[in-house]
């Protein structure tokens, strides 16, 4: 009997024993094409020698030093590299161990920012339906995914959830994409008027929504309008790039594709590429200085902050992304993946939408393409696809739809950036077979 808590099944899953490139192998010798990089983590693929060596070298030098006493060379180098490439004046970096920690830090930093300004009334967050921002209680309260939240109510913070920017479902007949983007962003203004802008500390969103919505991209102008609304009301903009950041959409920071600079930005997953558990929160000097000039420091901390070994691994990952020109490759291979998905599923009776950016693609399943009616959630389609794909040697990321019960199940794809053309073909073949088996 395994003593480990199984994640999604009652019984223990197969034992993973090795990884090479885009493939993982289990203890029986079965190979799996990792078409979702786990959960959009393994951007470099598995078994990358450069990253492994960087981590080993760091372990030989200094594995750990507590940030209550020291900073370390790898943490400093990683922060410098991130700031060099981050947009605007995002020039302070807080290194944590993963995405939920990065989001939790972002939420607390926003709260402390308003506190330092003497504004004690701003306790509320506005986020979006069908979002996921992590599993710790603050991040969970922020996420707009009802089934994840249900067991843990009442959650820790006051959060309102507005509709996401969801062209496929929410754009009106005859409305231009630009007009829809503005209308979707204006929902933030409406919600602010409803709850009182003086009670709100931050608006939180993913530039491209990942796990809970299957690579939902924003309409043009959406985030620029969001930025304007936040500025007008003194509300901080927190962008969560835990899944979509680090090159996944074809830019190191996905917000640069929207031409906005948030006040606080969270990254993780691809930052460690699976080689080390690491995340980061970046903030602008304006946010940082408000705290530095107030209490003096951010009232937050974890034992493994700024972990030297994790930082050395992440520095090697970001350097590899940049030095090997992998981010432009994301756009090239992403276009090929999109075309292959369109060719195979574009006319499929039960696939209503194929969307995404770079190597971050989603397919939304519908019972009826014309009415866009989703499948009955009781059918458990997403779970079936995941299980069948796994049996067929494909790791992908299906999830059930949620937005007020009106959106379809979807499949998220986020393969390593090194994916070859023949592996794109293999991915599409295996996914096709798995979807047909699940629908049968
Ligand atoms: N934010 C987003 C957008 C995510 O997709 C995730 C994880 O899937 C998280 C935060 C939480 O990250 P972690 O699982 O590393 O705690």
**What's the order of all strands across the beta sheet hosting 394-395?**
16-20, 23-26, 31-34, 394-395
Q: Does residue 236 have a cis bond before it (omega within 30 degrees)? A: no
Report yes or no on 4 lying in a domain: no
Rounded to 5°, the CA angle 180-184-188 comes to 155
Mutation probe of ligand 1 site: the residue of 97, 103, 205 with most atoms within 8 A of C-beta: 103
Identify the pLDDT of residue 212.
87
Q: Which of 271, 306, 323 is the last residue of a domain?
A: 323
**Whole-angstrom Cα distance, residue 105 to residue 112?**
10
Q: In CATH, what number is assigned to the domain containing residue 148?
A: 3.40.640.10
Tokens of residue 97, six digits: 């161990």
Do 226 and 100 share a structural domain? Answer: yes
- Residue 5 falls inside a structural domain: no
Q: In what order do the strands lie in the sheet with 397-399?
A: 351-357, 360-365, 410-413, 397-399
Q: Which atom of ligand 1 is nearest to the CA of 100?
A: 16
Are 159 and 145 members of one domain?
A: yes
Q: Whose CA is nearest to atom 7 of ligand 1?
A: 134
Q: Which atom of ligand 1 is nearest the CA belonging to 99?
A: 12
Are 260 and 358 within one domain? no
235 phi, psi to nearest 5 deg: -100, 140
CB of 134 within 6 A of ligand 1: the answer is yes
Asked if residue 269 belongs to a domain, the reply is yes
Looking at the fold, whether 206 and 88 belong to one and the same domain comes out as yes
Span from the CA of 132 to the centroid of ligand 1 (angstroms) = 7
- Buried b / exposed e over 405-419, threshold 16 CB at 10 Å, is eebbbbbbbbbbbbb
Residue bearing the CA closest to ligand 1, atom 13: 99
Quick one: which atom of ligand 1 is closest to the CA of 211?
5
Alpha-carbon distances of 205 from 69, 162, 257, rounded to whole Å: 34, 10, 15
Expressed in angstroms and rounded, the spacing between residue 130 Cα and the centre of ligand 1 is 14
Please check whether residue 9 lies inside any domain of the structure.
no
Pocket of ligand 1 contains residue 21 by CB under 6 Å: no
CA dist., res. 103 & res. 52, Å (int): 27
The domain boundary, picked from 294, 323, 352, lies at 323
pLDDT at 146: 79
**Residue ending a domain, choose from 275, 290, 323:** 323
Does 8 fall in a domain?
Answer: no
- Please report the atom of ligand 1 found closest to the CA of residue 279: 15
User: Do strands 200-205 and 279-284 pair parallel, antiparallel, or not at all (unpaired)?
Assistant: unpaired
Q: Helix 421-439 crosses helix 381-391 at what angle (to 10 degrees)? A: 130
Q: Which one of 133, 208, 264, 276 would you pick to mutate in the ligand 1 pocket, going by the greatest count of ligand atoms within 8 A of its CB?
A: 133
State the distance from the centre of ligand 1 to the C-alpha of 345, rounded, in angstroms: 28
Determine which residue's CA is closest to atom 6 belonging to ligand 1.
Answer: 134
Is residue 11 a part of any domain in this protein?
no
Measured distance CA(132)–CA(143) in Å, rounded: 4
Separation of CA 102 and ligand 1 centre (Å) = 9
Q: Ligand 1 in contact with 268 (CB < 6 A)?
A: yes
Look at residue 1 and tell me if it is in a domain. no
Distance 393 CA to ligand 1 centre (A): 25
240 lines ligand 1 (CB under 6 A): yes
Strands 31-34 and 90-96, by their bridges, are: unpaired
Shared domain for 43 and 70, answered yes or no, is no
- Structural domain contains residue 364: yes
- 309 and 290 in a single domain? The answer is yes
**Residue 239 shares a structural domain with residue 307:** yes
Q: Judge if 306 and 330 occupy the same domain.
A: no
Do both 350 and 267 map to the same domain? no
Q: Do 333 and 244 share a domain, yes or no?
A: no
pLDDT at 125: 98
Query: Tens-of-pLDDT digits for all 440 residues of the chain?
Result: 788 887 777 778 899 999 999 999 999 999 999 999 999 999 999 999 999 999 999 999 999 999 999 999 999 999 999 999 999 999 999 999 999 999 999 999 999 999 999 999 999 999 999 999 999 999 999 999 877 888 888 888 889 999 999 999 999 999 999 999 999 999 999 999 999 999 999 999 999 999 888 999 999 999 999 999 999 999 999 999 999 999 999 999 999 999 999 999 999 999 999 999 999 999 999 999 999 999 999 999 999 999 999 999 999 999 999 999 999 999 999 999 999 999 999 999 999 999 999 999 999 999 999 999 998 888 889 999 999 999 999 999 988 877 666 788 999 999 999 999 999 999 999 999 999 999 99
- Report the domain count for the chain: 2
Token pair belonging to 142: 């922020």
Ligand 1 centroid – CA 369 distance (Å): 31
Structural tokens at position 370: 């014309």
Q: What is the number of the ligand 1 atom nearest to the C-alpha of 241?
A: 3
pTM: 0.97
Instruction: Decide: 244 in ligand 1 pocket, CB within 6 A.
Output: no
Distance 99 CA to ligand 1 centre (A): 5
Residues 296, 346 within the same domain: no
CATH number at residue 397: 3.90.1150.10
The pLDDT assigned to 6 comes to 77
Q: Does one domain contain both 303 and 396?
A: no
How much is the pLDDT for 403? 67
Distance 236 CA to ligand 1 centre (A): 20
Q: How far apart are CA 270 and CA 273, in angstroms?
A: 4
Strand partners, 265: 239, 282
Q: Is the distance from CB of 346 to CB of 309 less than 8 angstroms?
A: no
**Contact, 74 vs 55, CB < 8 A?**
no
Report d(CA 294, CA 103) in Å as an integer. Answer: 22
The boundaries of the domain holding residue 127 are 52-323
């Amino acid at each position: 009997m395994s003593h480990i808590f199984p994640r999604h099944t009652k019984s223990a899953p197969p034992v993973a024993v090795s990884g090479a490139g885009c493939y993982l192998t289990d203890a029986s010798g079965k190979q799996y094409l990792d078409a979702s990089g786990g959960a959009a983590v393994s951007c470099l693929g598995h078994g990358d020698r450069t990253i492994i060596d960087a981590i080993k070298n760091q372990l030989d030098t200094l594995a750990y030093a507590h940030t209550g006493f020291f900073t370390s060379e790898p943490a400093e180098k990683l922060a410098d590299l991130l700031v060099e490439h981050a947009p605007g004046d995002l020039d302070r970096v807080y290194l944590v161990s993963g995405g939920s920690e990065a989001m939790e830090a972002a939420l607390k930093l926003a709260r402390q920012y308003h506190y330092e300004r003497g504004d004690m009334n701003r306790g509320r967050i506005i986020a979006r339906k069908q979002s996921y921002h992590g599993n710790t209680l603050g991040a969970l309260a922020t996420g707009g995914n009802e089934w994840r939240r249900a067991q843990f109510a009442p959650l820790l913070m006051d959060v309102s959830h507005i509709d996401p920017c969801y062209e496929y479902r929410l754009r009106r007949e005859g409305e231009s994409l630009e007009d829809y983007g503005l209308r979707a962003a204006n929902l933030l203004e409406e919600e602010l008027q409803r709850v009182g802008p003086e009670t709100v500390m931050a608006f939180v969103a993913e530039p491209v929504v990942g796990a809970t919505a299957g690579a939902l991209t924003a309409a043009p102008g959406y985030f620029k309008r969001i930025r304007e609304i936040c500025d007008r009301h003194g509300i901080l903009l927190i962008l969560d790039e835990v899944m979509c950041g680090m090159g996944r959409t074809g830019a190191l920071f996905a917000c640069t594709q929207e031409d906005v600079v948030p006040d606080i930005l969270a990254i993780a997953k691809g930052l460690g590429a699976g080689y080390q558990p690491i995340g980061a929160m970046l903030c602008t000097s304006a946010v940082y200085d408000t705290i530095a000039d107030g209490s003096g420091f951010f009232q937050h901390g974890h034992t493994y902050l700024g972990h030297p070994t994790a930082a050395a691994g992440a520095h090697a990952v970001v350097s590899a992304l940049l030095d090997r020109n992998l981010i432009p490759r994301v756009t090239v291979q992403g276009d090929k993946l999109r075309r292959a998905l369109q060719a195979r599923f574009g006319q499929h009776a039960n696939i209503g939408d194929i969307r995404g950016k770079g190597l971050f693609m989603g397919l939304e399943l519908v019972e009826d393409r014309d009415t866009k009616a989703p499948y009955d959630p009781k059918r458990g389609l997403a779970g079936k696809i995941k299980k069948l794909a796994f049996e067929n040697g494909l790791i992908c990321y299906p999830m059930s739809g949620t937005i007020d019960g009106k959106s379809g199940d979807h499949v998220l794809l986020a393969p390593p950036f090194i994916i070859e053309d023949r592996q794109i073909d293999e991915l599409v073949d295996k996914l096709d077979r798995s979807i047909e088996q699940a629908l049968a």
